[in-house]
Amino acid sequence: MAEAAGRGRGNGDGGASWAAPAELGEELLTAWLSEADRAEVGARLERAVAEDVAGRLWRHDDTLWGPSAAPEVAGRLGWLDAPTASAAQVEEVERFVAECRADGIEDVVLLGMGGSSIAPEVVRRALAHAGEEGRRGMRLRVLDSVDPDAVRAVEDGTDLERTLFLVSTKSGGTIETLSLARRFLAHAEDRLGDAEGGRRFAAITDPGSPLLELAGERGFRRTFLGDPEIGGRFSAVSVFGTVPAGLAGADVRRLLASAEEGRRQCGPERRGTDNLGVHLGVAIGALAGVGRDKLTLLTDEPLTSLGLWLEQLVAESTGKDGRGVVPVTDEPRRTEERIGADRLFLALGAAGGAAANRARELAESGHAALALAARGVTDLGRLFFVLEVATAVAGWALGVNPFDQPDVEEAKARTRALLADRGGETKLAASGRRYGDHVGAAAEAADALLDGVRAPEYVAVLSYATPSGALERAAARLRAAIAARTDAATTFGHGPRYLHSTGQLHKGGPPTGRFLQLVRTPPEHDVAIPGAGYGFGDLLDAQADGDLAALRARGRPAARVDLGPDPAKAVDRLAEALEAR
């Protein structure tokens, strides 16, 4: 890791040089750190070498994260061998893609949540930006929302004769994924007949999953089995990533060759500063331990979407036991005086590119910053692997088990109870005051939540509304309005997606979050879930209620604002009201 000393508050004028991984021929990781931060990272690197962190990781030593973590960790390290194992399945994936194209399939709708959907979405967006989406494959759409309007839009905008639904869930029991699968399966069978409807579906799941039975009963076109020793958020270069990537037109062989390159850069023979993943993970974990726990991502295209994936990987892996790293992605640019001292900036992109240059600028203002050199879409596999290793090592540095998610189940259990107790009528008002779209009252609620907030606190904006470009833009304006009055970091997440991503961190990580939940007025007509006794709107409302209750039960400050029937407009007006205060 090449060391560059920043100027400004606390960074000093000089620093030792940290070499890039041996024989790689380029400086892959650059750091701008203060003397104190450099000393902290250096000391932790010495400890990593002394404790043989790299070697023990590759030997699958489940005590690396402590004896209490061993039962969970023992069966969760298969991702280390995923680049090689997946390479053996490339021909199978390529044949499947060719068969689908020969049968006239032009569109693929991926139904999944969290680790089963985010990496494919990253690949899709990167391909689209590079102009490669659909060139060799099909159009990929990822549906990881149970908002009724989002479900209806896919249903109404899909030509069943030319569409493949890809149901992706490791456990086979994810409520959102199975609900979506049952809805679209019934829709396809109603329009095309049972046999042909089933052939419009394929599944990716683990052995023994309940989804296997459904796939067999309904005649799915194909089922791919994952490795049960790979957790969902570490599955980017397993079949959960390669199958949808191949369908979207990615060169899967190139993706895996890139991942294999990352594997070499993090190999067991590289014990310290020459191990890219270990070095990066130690830096992230060590600096989080001394208060720089807001890992703020800066990216160059076509890698901007990588933040979606890194957000889940880092938050769900490290956010527990009252500790953790808070990933901050897509944050609107703010002035240096409105940036707290709790940040660690990580640039992903070309050396000398906009992201790296911004990291250097921030370092010159006294902030800690790292830059991980990346070549673009052809580098995705390598980045997936290196960042997985870094996250596992950051867990070691923080003293947490990166392979469990002990606080995720609470919100799920509350959701199930709400659905059962209310018979599908979730009644948002039961969990807190509703504001309609009255801007003044909504701004008062937001004001009360934001009162006195300052770093190291952060503000998480959580949306339970139809995802759209307009809503994303309005949310960015809202985050900017918050930034104008505080130095606290801000994040934004769509529900229920974030429940499978940052939800663990919100409840189990550092108690520094403040949570602004945005809910919409339910549509007049819900979309039914076959066999459930409730609709997608009911499910979404129950998830919002369950998560809000879980946050409050843990003493996390949380407020709710009802956006009314036009969420994007309401968020924009809320941002405007906060700007005027």
Tell the CATH topology of 80-257. Rossmann fold (3.40.50)
Q: What is residue 528's DSSP assignment? A: B
163-168 β-sheet, strand order: 139-143, 107-112, 163-168, 201-205, 222-225
Per CATH, 2-64+266-398 and 80-257 having the same topology is answered: yes
Q: Which two tokens stand for residue 212?
A: 């296997």
The answer to whether 489 touches 340, Cβ cutoff 8 Å, is yes
User: What pLDDT was estimated at residue 271?
Assistant: 84
Domain 408-579 has CATH 3.40.50.10490: yes
The answer to whether 304 touches 348, Cβ cutoff 8 Å, is no
Q: Which residues of the chain have pLDDT under 50?
A: 2-25, 424-437
pTM (two decimals)? 0.94
DSSP annotation string for 473-487: HHHHHHHHHHHTT--
Helix (H, G, I), strand (E, B) or coil at 293: coil
User: What pLDDT was estimated at residue 432?
Assistant: 43
User: What pLDDT was estimated at residue 313?
Assistant: 98
At 226-259, the pLDDT tens digits run 999 999 999 999 999 999 999 999 999 999 999 9
Q: At what angle do helices 380-398 and 306-318 cross, to 10 degrees?
A: 20
The CA distances from residue 5 to 8, 31, 291, 349, 527, in Å, are 10, 8, 20, 20, 57
User: What pLDDT was estimated at residue 137?
Assistant: 73
User: What pLDDT was estimated at residue 130?
Assistant: 76
Q: At a CB cut-off of 8 Å and minimum separation 6, what does 269 contact?
A: none
Tell the CATH topology of 2-64+266-398. Rossmann fold (3.40.50)
Helix (H, G, I), strand (E, B) or coil at 368: strand
* Residue in 242, 243, 241, 203 with CA at minimum distance from that of residue 220: 203
User: What pLDDT was estimated at residue 26?
Assistant: 56
Place of tokens 């997985």: 388
β-strand partners of 560: 517
DSSP annotation string for 304-328: TTHHHHHHHHHHHHH-BTTB--EEE
Half-sphere exposure (Cβ direction) of 167: Cα atoms closer than 13 Å: 34
User: What pLDDT was estimated at residue 135?
Assistant: 63
User: What pLDDT was estimated at residue 133?
Assistant: 56
Q: In what helix (H) or strand (E) does residue 36 lie, and over which residues does it extend?
A: helix 35-50
The answer to whether 482 touches 450, Cβ cutoff 8 Å, is yes
What is the residue extent of each domain of the chain? Answer: 2-64+266-398, 80-257, 408-579
